[in-house]
Amino acid sequence: GQDAPWWRDAVVYQIYPRSFADSDGDGVGDLRGITARLDHLADLGADVLWLSPVYPSPQDDNGYDISDYQDIDPVFGTLADFDALLAGVHSRGMKLVMDLVVNHTSDEHPWFATSRLGPDSPMRDWYWWRPGRPGGGPPNNWGSAFGGSAWQYDDISGEYYLHLFSRKQPELNWENPKVRQAVHAVMRWWLDRGVDGFRMDVINYISKDVTLPDGVTFPGSVHNGAEPHFVSGPRVHEFLQEMHREVFAGRDAQLITVGETPGVTVADARLFTDPARREVDMVFQFEHMDLDAGADRWQTRRLDLRDLKRCLGKWQDGLADVGWNSLYWNNHDQPRVVSRFGDDGRHRVASATALGTLLHLHRGTPYIYQGEELGMTNAPFAGIEDFRDISALGNYAHAVEVEGRPADEVLAVLRARSRDNARTPMQWDATAHAGFTTGTPWIAVNPNHISINAAAARHDPASVYGYYRRLIATRRAEPALVHGDFTMLLPDDERVYAYLRRYAGTEVLVAVNVGGAPAPALVGPGWAGAEVLLANTGAPRFDGATLLLGPWQAVVLRRP
Ligand code: TEU
């Protein structure tokens, strides 16, 4: 515990600037809006703010398509606004992490504009250009995450370029050392400006199999089976170690580096996060986000709690001796957890706080996504015209028009799973547009802001916000919850999620009823008299060695 890196007991709060707070009435959130709301985050107990991208961008993928890495998009403000935000964050003892999107750029980045000039361009090999197949068609069968081929034909040279996301997000060619050096220079520039680290977008996609073989499609693939040819590819560890040497060496103790790594395995994650290897501090894995996926992308199923235990338990064990976990339910790409795994009706507050407890007290660094601390829910999207996300719109068009799927079935899945569920404006108060903007919001505010909002929650200890404050403070004050080992209990119980954390003679029991019916849990003798660190719906009740949990009840007990 003594020599542990600072970020082990930290809590990270993710801000999606477009949807957080709008200071100038244009309907899009901005940096000054964030600066004005920093006390909300400091009072919650957040240590680190992670900002989704605010760089100049055509906003094809809401800023994940960057056209200039060293400035701020006018829609979000200026570099001076950024410096003011950073000063406000630091003056409250918090840190700021930038989103670094360097697997791809915007097609409007000057690097790509130059690369596109033709095969003789000095920057041609900064991206992946290939001729079509003999007889016509794209170079291989790889698919874009947003629907259709991952290759875009370019008239200027008669060649195709690779884009695993939108056609406005061409893939950078990390094989080229000049690309890597340019990225390192950008990163050093932001660190010199005072930022405290990076969340690195799809950083395990940067090394491709350079022969670009066809994929063999499999259920759940979003890239038509191409994943094995670019997920955690042959040179990715070499590239990250080089980045560490070139960018972080000498100042890494103060920083936090997080790799977003879809499709990562436990074995890969150990390599990415083993401190001795000097790659990144922690990764985001996605296995628990796939547990409610159906047979293909357009089917869903109910979460089986035993699958969640197997999954999170495997990650706890896999990163127990080396490495570290990121703990999250939500981000800007996921539906709201209270609607997804909880009960956003009658048991909204209890289920939101139960799920928060279940997640945060695992071994790892917890992440809170804006609005999660209020128990914000999925949005009531009526038709496709209510969605804004390029992924929702692109995949809808592909599923309905190309694959011929019924529109209402596709819409039903989008309502449950669309990224736009996370992107409706932050609910600050009960006024028009939830206090997010005085103008017209870029995406509709959830009508339930009348009752679910920060103003109502802040002074109510029984709110989700009040509970999250206690949860964060409790975790920080108890070394066993940060540094302790982890033991899963009751692996076959379909209703109760329970585990132990142990450290230096202290033992903490976390037990959560993941459902709306009472549930008994045989936790073993000796807990009935234990100290209650947290309880979301009232004091724990025991029958001997059995804990009698009420609907969505979460309890945290400590002994001795
Ligand atoms: O997301 C990567 C990721 O998880 C996608 O592969 C996922 O399949 C997609 O979001 C589903 O629609 C990161 C960012 O978090 C996301 O917002 C960006 O759109 C994407 O990279 C491209 O930059």
Taking 3-state DSSP, the helix, strand and coil percentages for the chain, each rounded to the nearest 5, stand at 35, 15, 50
Residues facing residue 15 across a β-bridge = 51
Identify the CATH number of the domain defined by range 484-559: 2.60.40.1180
Mutation choice for ligand 1 from 107, 202, 393, CB with most ligand atoms inside 8 A: 202
Please check whether residue 232 is in contact with residue 265, taking contact to mean a CB–CB distance below 8 angstroms.
Answer: yes
User: How does the average pLDDT of the chain come out, rounded?
Assistant: 97
Distance CA 517, CA 548 (A): 11
Distance CA 190, CA 186 (A): 7
Enter the ipTM: 0.96
Q: What separation in angstroms does the CA of 424 have from each of 14, 141, 155, 450?
A: 14, 34, 38, 14
Asked if pLDDT for residue 474 goes beyond 90, the answer is yes
What is the arithmetic mean of pLDDT over 209-225? 95
Q: How confident is the model at residue 1 (pLDDT cuts 50, 70, 90)?
A: low
User: What angle do helix axes 407-417 and 390-397 make, rounded to 10 degrees?
Assistant: 160
Asked if pLDDT for residue 281 goes beyond 80, the answer is yes
Count of alpha carbons within 13 Å of 356, Cβ hemisphere only? Answer: 31
Percent of the chain predicted with pLDDT > 70: 100
Structure tokens at 559: 């002994």
Within 8 A by CB and 6+ apart from 362, the residues are 312, 316, 325, 327, 486, 499
Please check whether residue 551 is in contact with residue 518, taking contact to mean a CB–CB distance below 8 angstroms.
Answer: yes
Identify the CATH number of the domain defined by range 177-324: 3.20.20.80
For 294-309, how does the pLDDT look when each residue is reduced to its tens digit (9 = 90+)?
A: 888 888 999 999 999 9
Q: What separation in angstroms does the CA of 455 have from each of 106, 348, 387, 463?
A: 38, 18, 27, 11
Give the single-character DSSP code of 499: E
Asked if pLDDT for residue 70 goes beyond 80, the answer is yes
Structure tokens at 461: 């200890």
Q: Is 494 a catalytic residue?
A: no
For 119-160, how does the pLDDT look when each residue is reduced to its tens digit (9 = 90+)?
A: 999 999 999 999 999 999 999 999 999 999 999 999 999 999
For residue 287, report the distance from its CA to the centre of ligand 1, in Å. Answer: 14
pLDDT of 219 reads 87
**CB-based burial, 494-506: b 16+ in 10 Å, e otherwise:** ebbbbbbbebeee
The three-point CA angle 33-332-57 to 5° equals 65
Asked if pLDDT for residue 502 goes beyond 80, the answer is yes
pLDDT of 525 reads 93
Distance CA 153, CA 150 (A): 10
How many angstroms from the chain centroid is the CA of residue 538?
Answer: 31
What is the arithmetic mean of pLDDT over 343-366? 98
Asked if pLDDT for residue 2 goes beyond 80, the answer is no
For 7-30, how does the pLDDT look when each residue is reduced to its tens digit (9 = 90+)?
A: 999 999 999 999 999 999 999 999
Please check whether residue 441 is in contact with residue 521, taking contact to mean a CB–CB distance below 8 angstroms.
Answer: no
> Which of the listed CATH numbers 3.30.420.40, 3.90.400.10, 3.40.1350.10, 3.30.499.10 matches domain 110-162?
3.90.400.10
Structure tokens at 121: 């361009």
CA neighbor of 455 nearest in space, from 445, 440, 465: 465
Of all atoms in ligand 1, which is nearest to the CA of residue 165?
Answer: 22
Asked if pLDDT for residue 349 goes beyond 70, the answer is yes
For residue 430, report the distance from its CA to the centre of ligand 1, in Å. Answer: 32
pLDDT of 295 reads 84
What is the arithmetic mean of pLDDT over 79-100? 98
Of all atoms in ligand 1, which is nearest to the CA of residue 419?
Answer: 12
For 414-435, how does the pLDDT look when each residue is reduced to its tens digit (9 = 90+)?
A: 999 999 999 999 999 999 999 9
Options 30, 201, 281, 389, the catalytic residue: 201
Distance CA 152, CA 163 (A): 7
Mutation choice for ligand 1 from 333, 388, 410, 413, CB with most ligand atoms inside 8 A: 333
Site of tokens 């003011």: 84
State phi, psi for 48 to the nearest 5 degrees.
-130, 135
Asked if pLDDT for residue 66 goes beyond 80, the answer is yes
Q: How confident is the model at residue 220 (pLDDT cuts 50, 70, 90)?
A: confident
For residue 416, report the distance from its CA to the centre of ligand 1, in Å. Answer: 17
Please check whether residue 129 is in contact with residue 117, taking contact to mean a CB–CB distance below 8 angstroms.
Answer: no
The residue with greater pLDDT, 76 or 298, is 76
In the structure, which protein residues have their CB atom closer than 6 angstroms to any atom of ligand 1? Answer: 61, 64, 101, 145, 165, 201-202, 222, 260, 262, 332-333, 391, 419
What is the arithmetic mean of pLDDT over 460-466? 97
pLDDT of 3 reads 80
Residue whose CA is at the smallest distance from ligand 1 atom 2: 202
The three-point CA angle 150-152-158 to 5° equals 140
Alpha helices (H) along 275-406? 305-318, 337-340, 348-360, 390-397
Q: Is 372 a catalytic residue?
A: no
Structure tokens at 361: 């007290």
pLDDT of 307 reads 98
Domain regions of the chain by residue span: 110-162, 177-324, 484-559
Of all atoms in ligand 1, which is nearest to the CA of residue 164?
Answer: 22
Distance CA 207, CA 102 (A): 12
For 436-456, how does the pLDDT look when each residue is reduced to its tens digit (9 = 90+)?
A: 999 999 999 999 999 999 999
